[in-house]
Structure 1
């Protein structure tokens, strides 16, 4: 059996293979509620052979949404709307996961489908963004610096969202600390200029993330817990893979089971060199330096490429995004490509397994 189609056990959850669906925002929600689009969108990947299907960045508070059209899980109505979607994913043999998020200074923006860009004004459904420091992302409104009371509220909000997620049936939780959103903003010195216990030295910049990990672990002690990091800001003086590795090690000590390694998103002047598998070296460095399982992501488009990443010991699982959008049956295609007679084929599709 290929490594890609071998199972991976995380705590007590067995994932049937290591080709996973990365969280991808759909900007198609109203009042934070997932709907029919989200149901079909996510369930089709399970039918298509994914081992794990992760729902998009889902806000833990209303002001944590990237856009007014983002999904949320800050109330019980949203929890109940997620439940049938989760059931559909699981009934098709995949593990259902959710990414818990707060957009920080990149909140309250127009969706990619809009003709306008920047921050949505209050009279059009927007709100005041919050951040570790009152430093704006280029082209967005200046955020308000979070005070200590609001930081405490955020820790509680992540814990409450985790409880609702487990109640909805999600089997894996991921804390979003990447792509320039709130927790990444706390981690990076380019966006965090605080002088209190949450700014300055690395242990202070990581304090909020570790508090949230502890709070989530307290309410979901047996649930696999991931953290997504941007391994580098791709900008001088910013967060880098060395700091990511240190904090990933701390996260493991606090109960995180796997680190999901991406990069970028913090500043508009980032300078990224892309190409097939361009972020895999970051995953390899974090895996080896922090002694923690990792997933790799970034222009991974074939079963052979994913298998090579795992065989080289660079990651424990592979996440893909755009390739799943191009082909919701990417998992079935990859299995055929690798000569796997994989049990991931739904009975309804078995007749197509062989030409």
Structure 2
């Protein structure tokens, strides 16, 4: 009370003596001071109560906030991003394997007996396109904000449709997706993938000049897992639209991607080491056949020249035997030359 009174007194510039008067009758000093003091104290009490009520209200209603809360993604956004990143890695692996197969096909064209490996590699590229399309459709259903669905023709290359139209007249083979493919085809396509990959390996092993154990082990391991996954997925027939099954299919991309990385590395080594080795071995075998053909042609020429001195002598057993031996030698020489040329042609073509 003393402090409030002193403050009230000090607020008047002339002290307590400067009090208002009304006409000739001055207002009592004590009564005026007490009224002003009470007014000031009531105002101070009211302000104090209002400030306390405001602090309590803010404490109950305001929730704690942290700096950067707006930048923190939600759980769903995090799952969408992680799932999309997983599919992107799988897509890059598929595209890299397709590129390796295309490079491999261009490399083995200079080899003999390459028809089978070229056909099997192209079929394998078509199967990879189907697998990538199915997994993209599955990922687009799971993570619609991060993974977009693509047209069947645009899964591998955005210019695939234009390339197919340009190559329609020249009949250049371009991988394509079947029109009736659907997520329900997962077991069938995975089993077909296993068949195509093992066929590719069998055609690759038809080159006896070089055998790569790494690529054999990688392909056999992938083929076993593909058949296992296909047999397990057959139990979920008609349920491939369920979120649990879709997440299981999405998780397969990580396991399959490891196999694809191993095959990519093995193919890269085969292109760098195996193809030159096979080419040199085939070139050496072709040179041997050409040398044999050259020698046979030389003996044929010698036989034909020598026969000019004896073919007119006939009538005696000795002359007839000599002419018969010359004719036999000429037939064998010509046969050896023709056989060598056929062998060279067969190795280079078939």
Do they superpose with TM above 0.5? no
Higher share of residues assigned strand: 1
The TM-score normalised by the length of structure 1 is 0.23
The TM-score normalised by the length of structure 2 is 0.23
Higher share of residues assigned helix: 2
Pair member with larger Rg: 2
